[in-house]
Copies of this chain bind each other. A is one copy, B any other.
Amino acid sequence: MIRIKLIPLEEFQRVRAAPIDKYERLALISDMCRTNTLSAVKRAGSGHLGSSFSAMEIVVWLYYQEMNIMAVGLQSPDRDIYFSSKGHDVPGLYSVLFSLGILPEEKFLKLRRLGGLDGHPDVGIPGIEANSGSLGMGISKGRGMAWAKQLLDRSGRVFVMTGDGELQEGQIYEALQAAFHQRVGNLTVIVDHNKVQSDKRICEIIDLRDLEAKFHSFGWHVARRNGHDLRQLDWVLAEFKQIIDRPKLLIADTIKGRGVSFMEHPVALRTAKGLYPWHAGAPDDQSFSAAHQEIVERINARLAELGLLPLVLKEIEPSEKVVRSSLVTQNALGEPVSQAVKSKLSDGASSEYVVEAFGQALVEIAAKRPNLVVLDADLAADCRLRCFEETYPDRFIENGIAEQDMVSMAGGLARQGLLPVVNSFASFLASRANEQIYNNASERTKIIYVCHYAGLLPAGPGKSHQSLRDISLFGALPNCIILQPCNAAETRMAMEYCVNQASENCMLRLVIGPSPRIIELSASYQLTPWRGVVLKEGSNAIMFAYGPVMLHEALLASEILEENDFGLQIVNMPWLNRVDMHWLKEVVAPYESIYVLEDHSPVGGLGDFLLNALNNEVLLKRRRIRKFAVEGYPACGTPPEALKHHRLDGASLASRILNNIE
């Protein structure tokens, strides 16, 4: 395992105290924060380096020089406020907060871990002023804070960082117009204009064109500077301070991946054939070492030039290997589990991605359906749409980070007889474009909404990305079938169903991460409308679940319970708001205890649907349904941490079932 080193707080204190020019000092601090960001992301196994690096000088300048936070304290009502609207650049912010002593080392090293630092900002963390990660909300929220400061006669300014890809979100323009109209002069927006969104250049996705002209047309005071040049930042913010009759916006020209030669975007894009590889995810060992060495050597060279000693780095404990699902070492009674149970756990080699199967199925099905078109909101790689994009470029529509526009465009396409397949993460698509989805559905056309990254896992990105409400958000549409497949084969069948059989709208819910195990279906299995399928026999109780993540935990629970002589029948129920009552009656007939395991909130998921179905047919008389669901906000952490926190891992489920009976 690779050794990861941290620049400890004392080293920051040494450089801060060194009698050197402030610009020199903060350039050094910026690079030192880059080093720690790199280490934290590497240790976490994921996180966003590219934009943490592009924004680094700006964040360092704000915290060390511009804002009053260190003087008045984090609790002062008169403090200046900074937050990033895009939010995914938070590893960079965390490293700055660590360098200032606001975040202790122990916390700083727990990036994307339970009880540590969320993958996107959360106000529960010291120094974090706003939850963000859902793009486009920051200027509105910052304006609220700034307006409140005025009403409450508080001093302090509000600084909001936005991405540039983020400027594709329409809410940005709502916020711009209102902030000018309301003359919110204590609000400053800084656009980290690094020119690259997820993995492509903005001008290729949806060009932003002349940003200065746009912002001017909304009435703002606008400046454009080099975002890595501390002198320019100093001067422009001094200029902004004098302007109090209107909000101010700085377009900061930056370089994505700034500070590591091979991560900087012009080079990185060329190397990776046009796809920027350092937006999200931890670097491999070799890249990490090279990047770390490059920054540290640059820092040390500069320290030497300034007559200062080289950095003293501190080796940090490696984190345990992150696994895909719950770890089972003991059964529900606390005894070690048998080898039989252990062997069912995926060893990685036997895993799969249902989303990968979706991407393949899309291309295959599209060959026979010339009216099928695919829409994307800048998540083509994550949603596995690249193959379709390359195979059918004429039928692929990139809309940029603008889910509402994408969905309404799909409505127009459908009205012309096309079959749109609309893609984004579930938390964005189901929620932000909800009214547009309703409007389309009310036209009785057919559209397939693919809600990627549905459910609790991966839990590292945090609650802005984990989607536990999407079934409920589609649930009250009168003409939409919701389904979630459990493995690659069922995913292909589900897509086939949505495209070629369904007459209504479909919402296809997909897990984005690796399946913890391949959920086995018989070779003859056919997805049958409104029917589920028994995956494991058991005579004491029955559990309905869906999707690879929760079916794995359900099976695990059943396997553990088997060792306790309790038979838990496991049913894969891919239909989340339709059921064949004949089948349901038959399948629940032998059981009094019915469990539903939700990869969703307890409200509005499969459990509520089945409860209604059983109640309607008066089948509940001697039965009770119990839902195991994600209660509260989803925890951030590794898969085992998040599952265990919500008591949804196999061992907890087994234990909850046994306790229920007792």
Q: Which residues of A come within 8 Å of B, CB atoms?
A: 77, 122-123, 129-132, 134, 136-138, 140-149, 151-152, 154, 168-175, 177-178, 180-182, 206-210, 213-214, 216-219, 373, 394-395, 397, 399-400, 402, 404-418, 420, 427-428, 431-432, 434-436, 438-439, 442-444, 463-464, 468-469, 472-473, 475-478, 577, 600-601, 603-604, 608, 611-612, 615, 618, 620-622, 624-625, 631-633
Contacting A144 at CB < 8 Å: which of B138, B415, B473? B415
Interface contact B405-A175, CB-CB below 8 Å = yes
Q: Which 5 A-B pairs have the closest CB atoms?
A: A144-B412, A170-B170, A140-B408, A148-B416, A174-B405
- The answer on a CB contact under 8 Å between B142 and A412 is yes
A603 to B373, CA, bound (A): 31
Taking CB as reference atom, which chain B residue is nearest A601?
A: B476
In chain B, what residue has the closest Cβ to A416? B148
CB–CB B427/A431 < 8 A:
no
Which one of B214, B431, B435, B476 lies within 8 Å of A218 (CB-CB)? B214
Contact A170 B172 (CB under 8 A): yes
In the complex, the answer to whether A148 meets B412 with C-beta atoms within 8 Å is: yes
From A181, which residue of chain B is reached at the shortest CB distance? B206
- In angstroms, Cα B137 to Cα A38, docked, is 42
Residues on B with beta carbons closer than 8 Å to the beta carbon of A439: 131-132, 134, 137, 464
Q: Is the CB of A144 within 8 A of B217?
A: no
State the CA gap A577–B604 with chains docked (Å). 12
Report yes or no: B442 in contact with A131, Cβ–Cβ below 8 A.
Answer: yes
Task: Tell me if B427 and A435 are in contact (CB < 8 A).
Answer: yes
Query: What residues of chain B lie closer than 8 Å to A130, measured between beta carbons?
Result: 411-412, 415, 443
Query: What are 16 A-to-B residue pairs whose CB atoms are below 8 Å?
Result: A123-B443, A130-B411, A131-B443, A140-B406, A144-B410, A168-B174, A174-B404, A178-B399, A210-B217, A214-B214, A438-B469, A439-B464, A473-B476, A475-B603, A478-B601, A478-B632
- Residue in B177, B180, B415, B577 whose beta carbon sits within 8 Å of that of A129 in the complex: B415
Checking B432, B615, B620 against A435 with a beta-carbon cut-off of 8 angstroms, the contacting residue is: B432
CA distance A171 to B427 in the complex (A): 18
Query: Whose C-beta in chain B lies nearest to the C-beta of A205?
Result: B181
Q: Which one of A405, A601, A611 has the highest number of Cβ atoms from chain B below 10 Å of its Cβ?
A: A405
Chain B residues closer than 8 Å to A464, beta-carbon distance: 439, 442
A147 CB contact (under 8 Å) in B178, B397, B608: B397
Q: Are B436 and A473 in contact (CB under 8 A)?
A: no
Contact of A604 among B142, B171, B443, B472 (CB under 8 A): B472
B444 touches A435 (CB 8 A): no
Contacts of A122 in B (CB 8 A): 442
The chain B residue sitting closest to A609, CB to CB, is: B603
Query: For residue A122, which residue of chain B has the nearest CB?
Result: B442
Task: Give the shortest distance, in Å, between A450 (CB) and chain B (any CB).
Answer: 17
Q: Are B436 and A137 in contact (CB under 8 A)?
A: yes
**Smallest CB–CB gap between A399 and chain B, Å?**
5
In the complex, what residues of B have CB within 8 A of residue A149's CB?
A: 416
CB-defined contacts of A147 to chain B, threshold 8 Å: 397, 409, 412-413
